[in-house]
Chains A and B, each alone.
Chain A
Amino acid sequence: MLALGQDEIAKYPFLADAGQYLKEQGFTLEQFGTDPDLAPLIEKAYNRIHAACEGDPQSYKSDIIENQVSNTAALPREVFSFLLSIVLLKLTGIPTLAKRFALSEAMRAESYLEKDLKNISNGSNELPIRIIEDLFSITIKKHDDFFVMPISDYIKHSVYFHEREWKLINRHVENGQVFLTPHQTVRLVRKELGTYITSKILTGKKPSMIPGFEKFVNNLLSYSKKFSVSVVSTGEYPPCIKHAIEVLEKGENLPHSGRFMLATFLLSKGQSVDQIAPLFKNAPDYNERVTIYQLNHLAGTSGSGTQYSCPSCEKLRTQSLCFAIPECDNIITPLQFGKRTK
């Protein structure tokens, strides 16, 4: 865990250990639900979530002004509202809300991170640098007005950008390092910052309801209906495969395990590499040369002779790729879906 100053916790509240922070401040979660003096803070948290999900973060009144917390009393309020937001989202358990909230928080943090990066001195190892290193495994160093990082660290992240300016060829590269402005440095990790915050909300057990929180949780539950998309799962493909195709069609990132499942499934169904390749066109890191190579590799046509088989449902469950429906009963691989066996 990074050691954090007071201002820093307010700017980057996702770095704080929630339980420990509350303890240090002498509070328990239950108090927020029952103590009338603390109740407005839940309201504030609710507004923070609502504003984030509406895509209108301005409507949430932050107590941080000009990169500084406006006054000492405001600081805990700011941190509490974040931590309570997380608790509310955990209690609600709706991934869409968590993702929207996380993305909005990531963008808020991004603007602080950029300003903080600009202000640090050469060769120092201040918080923003450590955040980037701890959270994203990118080693960066300040070098005049730029930040330098190893090329390999840079490309691991930059391949997810469609825009050509992110290609290595369009960057200042020297002696194994890439040079980026503070703005570019922060942009490089925006998506992953969102993912990091999402994982903070979605991992771990769903806590049991805290008295005084019900009203807000219920409000969020009914509010979330607005974002629900109904997945109709009928026809020849099992839900896991349909879901993967949908993710790709939306141009969202499908993890490697998901791509592996989809490709091996379709190859086993007799589709050719040329038929499958276009499915990946919208992936944020799409590259024709690489897609064809990888599909040929999985099909065993590139020389290795090994055709990879589609993972089992059990494996897919552990990879969070399974979206089982009643028709999935008693099958052990997605390939058996729809084949009625008695």
Chain B
Amino acid sequence: MNEHDVKFLEDSFKKYYFEHFDQIHVPKKTSEREFGYQKFNSGMIRHISIKDDKELHLLLMKNVPSDVYCSNAYYSFPNLPMNEKEWKEADMIFDIDSKDLHLDCRMSHTVSICGNCKTISEYSNQCKNCGSAKLDKKSLPCKNCIEGSKNEVNKLSEILIDDLGVDKNNISVYFSGNEGFHVYVYDSQFQNLGSRERSELADYILFKGVIPETFGMKKFKPERSLFPDLSEKGWRGRFSKEVFKTKTKRPKVVTELISAGYSQFQKYLETLSNQIGVRIDPNVTIDIHRIFRLPGSLNSKSGLTKLYCKNISRFEPYSEASLLSDEKVEVLAQCPVEFKLKNRKFGPYNNEVISVPTFAAVYMICKNLATVSQNVK
């Protein structure tokens, strides 16, 4: 990214932070957390302690970071190197990202940037200009993808509450600031679990590692009565709703399942895992030493805010989380796909100098689809 763009982004981010201190807070048990940040065009700075909101706001003003992070773990000495921190416990975090849903709409709102000649084009697997296959993919806002992610968040919440016994009030959902959601679980019975144990929880949520016996199917002499029922709790209940649909259809489907046989059933369970399992990223859930984007801070992949969602079904990330100013700026844009922010349509732009609001300009620059026009100023 060139220095003019960096300067423009830093100015815009700084303005946001200055005007939104009320929305950016240190999390509970601040003194036990590790913080970290990154500046545009530079590496990560980690192992920092922050005392309170004031210190955090000072850091934002002084360093104007591109991204700010905070650990889900609690440590005795968060500012020491990793091996001396003394891990105590960690909140559980689930990451749901639209790109993991592999929806059909995906290609239509993804652009490709050639790693070799930098040519920007609509979604493709090979650069039209130089033929290189090294393409960087950037996805633009899509309502369908967000709805899909919301649906996963709802499925996850249901399992957390009904199966894992998590108190509803201890679950917080955040828009990630780009294309997905982060679900935080505080003060649960799982706080002190290690990675290996968290991996078990992840598999439970993903519907991974299931054996046919769990749903009543046996290798020899399967019994109809062992198959689950629609009224059951947990996965057996969800399985029934998905597979039998209604009580009246159950006998017929059970007959079909039994006659298809055990190994067929096993295969069926695997396909089912893509439908009823929740698409969380297990590598995030097992990580008990990671630092996560701080709620209220900006995401440098988009200039959108990582925002708390009070009501997930009514939440509109591409208007609510776009909190940068409306002030117009001129940029040179090369954005082959149309996108919508704050209910306004932008693009497509074909290498043209345009005047757009700051939030849209930042969005495109963060995605490498525009650059601050040099002849301005």
Chain A residues engaging chain B, CB cutoff 8 angstroms = 150-152, 155-156, 158-159, 164-165, 167-170, 172-177, 285, 287, 289-290, 293-294, 297, 300, 302-306, 308-309
B189 touches A152 (CB 8 A): yes
The 10 closest A-B pairs by CB, nearest first: A176-B165, A306-B82, A304-B82, A170-B214, A152-B189, A306-B81, A168-B204, A155-B197, A175-B165, A167-B209
B230 at the interface (CB under 8 A from A): no
A294 touches B165 (CB 8 A): no
Chain B residues engaging chain A, CB cutoff 8 angstroms = 44, 46-47, 81-83, 162-166, 189-190, 192-193, 195-197, 199-201, 203-204, 207-211, 213-214, 233-236, 282-283, 286-287, 289-291
CA distance A170 to B162 in the complex (A): 16
| Residue in contact with B200 in the complex, picked from A155, A175, A177, A304, CB distance below 8 Å | A155
A308 touches B165 (CB 8 A): no
Task: Using known A-B contacts A297-B289, A302-B289, A303-B44, determine if residue A169 contacts B197 with beta carbons closer than 8 Å.
Answer: no
CA distance A24 to B67 in the complex (A): 69
Task: Using known A-B contacts A151-B189, A306-B82, determine if residue A289 contacts B282 with beta carbons closer than 8 Å.
Answer: yes
| Residue in contact with B163 in the complex, picked from A156, A175, A306, A308, CB distance below 8 Å | A175
- Closest A residue to B197 by CB, please name it: A155
| Residue in contact with A287 in the complex, picked from B189, B190, B196, B213, CB distance below 8 Å | B196
B165 touches A151 (CB 8 A): yes
Number of A-B contacts (CB under 8 A): 108
Task: Using known A-B contacts A152-B197, A293-B283, determine if residue A167 contacts B83 with beta carbons closer than 8 Å.
Answer: no
Query: What residues on A are CB-neighbors of B162 within 8 Å?
Result: 174-175
A289 smallest CB distance to B (angstroms): 6
Task: Using known A-B contacts A151-B189, A169-B209, A285-B196, determine if residue A174 contacts B234 with beta carbons closer than 8 Å.
Answer: yes
B207 touches A169 (CB 8 A): yes
A159 touches B203 (CB 8 A): no
Which residue, A155, A159, A287, A300, has most C-beta atoms of chain B within 10 A? A155
Known: A155-B201, A294-B195. 15 other contacts (CB 8 A): A152-B197, A168-B201, A169-B235, A170-B210, A170-B211, A170-B213, A174-B162, A174-B233, A175-B163, A285-B196, A289-B282, A297-B82, A302-B287, A302-B289, A309-B83
CA distance A241 to B240 in the complex (A): 50
Query: What residues on B are CB-neighbors of A297 within 8 Å?
Result: 82, 289
| Residue in contact with A169 in the complex, picked from B83, B189, B192, B204, CB distance below 8 Å | B204
CA distance A179 to B197 in the complex (A): 18
A293 touches B207 (CB 8 A): no
B44 touches A159 (CB 8 A): no
Query: What residues on B are CB-neighbors of A169 within 8 Å?
Result: 203-204, 207-210, 214, 235
CA distance A173 to B286 in the complex (A): 20
Query: What residues on B are CB-neighbors of A294 within 8 Å?
Result: 195
- Closest A residue to B36 by CB, please name it: A303
CA distance A172 to B162 in the complex (A): 12
CA distance A305 to B211 in the complex (A): 40
A152 touches B193 (CB 8 A): yes
Query: What residues on B are CB-neighbors of A306 within 8 Å?
Result: 81-83
Query: What residues on A are CB-neighbors of B207 within 8 Å?
Result: 169
Query: What residues on B are CB-neighbors of A309 within 8 Å?
Result: 83
B282 touches A176 (CB 8 A): no
Task: Using known A-B contacts A150-B189, A164-B209, A300-B82, determine if residue A159 contacts B163 with beta carbons closer than 8 Å.
Answer: no
| Residue in contact with A308 in the complex, picked from B44, B83, B189, B283, CB distance below 8 Å | B83
A170 touches B189 (CB 8 A): no
B157 smallest CB distance to A (angstroms): 15
B195 touches A290 (CB 8 A): yes
Task: Using known A-B contacts A173-B204, A177-B165, A303-B46, determine if residue A289 contacts B199 with beta carbons closer than 8 Å.
Answer: yes
